[in-house]
A and B are shown apart, each in its own frame.
Chain A
């Protein structure tokens, strides 16, 4: 029972490069989320998908795009990476649509040089 799986675990990019962070959950959850975690700032919501086929912006969406590929998968894309996007990225899911506690993946540590 894997829960929420994120790939890769670590990534180093140069400014301007692009990449996609992958997330998959095997709990048949409706809602999925992408957060970034920065020291002293807690977790900030980038984008979320309340259900398959929908996506919405969170607190800090600039510089990111998302795709809810199917019910299981929710990817986060950085089209042109910037040093300000150096962070730890967490994917999470919950049964939805409201209030259910989040289940988190193990995170992706991204460094942009």
Chain B
């Protein structure tokens, strides 16, 4: 079965600090990769996705993620975080032709102003 690991459950940063959230998955075949964000009191929203092509994908609000196939990783990055980035971030993986999306446990990011 697929599994998704997110390395840090809680991250606290000051504004303007750089962010990197780790995500590793266990499935060996071709996968599709997603990062979702959940702002306090809201539902999940898509940040970015990777299906194929350039392994460096850019999403909304200045976020980007890099797919490293050899490391089974899809880490999320942002050069300079803002207070409004305070949220929970979820990595998710599906098989290339799969219906089911498997989520990681989430990383709660708190940005101090």
Contacts and interface: CB of A to CB of B under 8 A. Distances in A.
Given A99-B51, A107-B43, A42 B90 contact: yes
Given A41-B105, A42-B90, A98 B97 contact: yes
Contacts of A74: none
A3 to B, nearest CB: 9
Interface in B66-113: 90, 92, 94, 96-106
Interface residues of B, number: 27
A102 B9 CA distance: 23
Contacts of B32: 99
Contacts, number: 58
A107 B36 CA distance: 15
Nearest to A107: B43
A97 B44 contact: no
Nearest to B106: A42
B44 A98 contact: no
A42 B105 contact: yes
A61 interface: no
Interface of B: 4, 6, 9, 32, 34, 36, 42-46, 49, 51, 90, 92, 94, 96-106
